[in-house]
Structure 1
Amino acid sequence: MSETETISAAVGGFLARIRRERGLTLDQIARAARSYGASWSASSVSNIERGQASLTLPTLLLLALALGDLLEEPLPLSALLGDVEALTLVAGSQYPVERSWVDGVLNGAEVIRRSVDSVDAEDDEEIDEELEAEVLRRMREMRGREATRAEVDAQVAQLLDESQLPPESATRNPAKGDAGSLAEERAAAKLGVSTARLRRLALDLWAHSLEEESSRRAGSGSTPQARGRVTRVLVEEVRGFMNEVR
């Protein structure tokens, strides 16, 4: 599958793959959807699979319910999009949106347009400023003095390089003890919870750490800026989850 797809093509590709891997028939899916009140035939499911159906929200919900029953495991709506990295909201559009943006919206994030091609300079600047502030704070604590610009720049560059390491390398550094990674500490601070509490919430929500989920969604070889944007979406997902479990 190409890196950028329409939503209809992404859902159709996912459906075709799942049918092939699990040995499902068009009629099985149609019958499962009819149990929820749909009037689908095998032809209806075929149209979805070929990307020729009008994918309204009820259609997506019915498809998720039908596949969830047949696979014997609940499916989030975002799973129907398969593994595509970017999506176009309108066929032929020259302005794709990031997959992480779509996942965030489906999980309750605000619907604010974010294009794949428009790398937001303000976001990059915000990330650097947050890192610089954190570096200055830590250097003051460790050395009892203000750091020089060269020291701050060198430390920020090191932190950005470390953010490209696999999550296991970043989170299992014995020197950090139970303080958590820099990304976890910043996310916990934004949410007003302890790092330990953030870790428990992440495990409940995604079955792994915030950094692992950020790495998975941003994709291999992603830049620190891209990881930062994904992490901000994840923080909002955790915030929404906290509100649900209160």
Structure 2
Amino acid sequence: MSTVAEVLGHNVKRLRQERGWTLDDLARAGHTRGHKWNTGRISKIERGNTAPTIELLLVLALSFEVPPVELLRTEEEVELGEGEFVTGQALVDVFTGRTTELEVRDVPGAEDRLKKQLLGVTVDMQEVQQITGETFNFRQHEAARKAYGLTDERAAKKLGMTDNQLLGWSLRLWGKVLSQEVEERAGQDATAQKKGHVTRALVKELADATGKR
């Protein structure tokens, strides 16, 4: 596993050695393109201690007379940020324009993460469905979770419910999440005071229905 800077550094060292160049030879190649490189600068690049800017990539590519993508080839996984990785082939595909979107196979561990996320969503859907007593599909769950906001979270905390429990009971009683019901009952131009009054009334309805006080 490497960073982009380390991939660049490895390839710079490989290309330099393949050409039989010294560090000083590569530094002089940079000089011809207006860069005051020295052997220390080249060593930092090869160790992966230099940010791989577009400018640096272009100057190195011109110095070696290779396409810029040749400086980014690797068979290792490449770290893009904290906890985020892509395959070496995906990195090349993006820079050569073969793709502008990453697929599951391009991101190491993505399939396992998706499986865990799907399992979590399935468990949530089942918990909500047990309360509503009705079939609850993924699209409905996604829409309900998207509408679920701070008002709903506060109501759940006040009633000692989980978010899934509040969501299930809201759908059972009103066919929508609590915050949506507040907006509908309070009206379009309702004041914060009126919305607060309606929210308290709805929380009471939930408490009566669930026996939670």
The TM-score with structure 1 as length reference comes to 0.40
The TM-score with structure 2 as length reference comes to 0.46
Q: Which fold has the larger relative contact order, with Cα–Cα distance below 8 Å and residues 6 or more apart in sequence?
A: 1
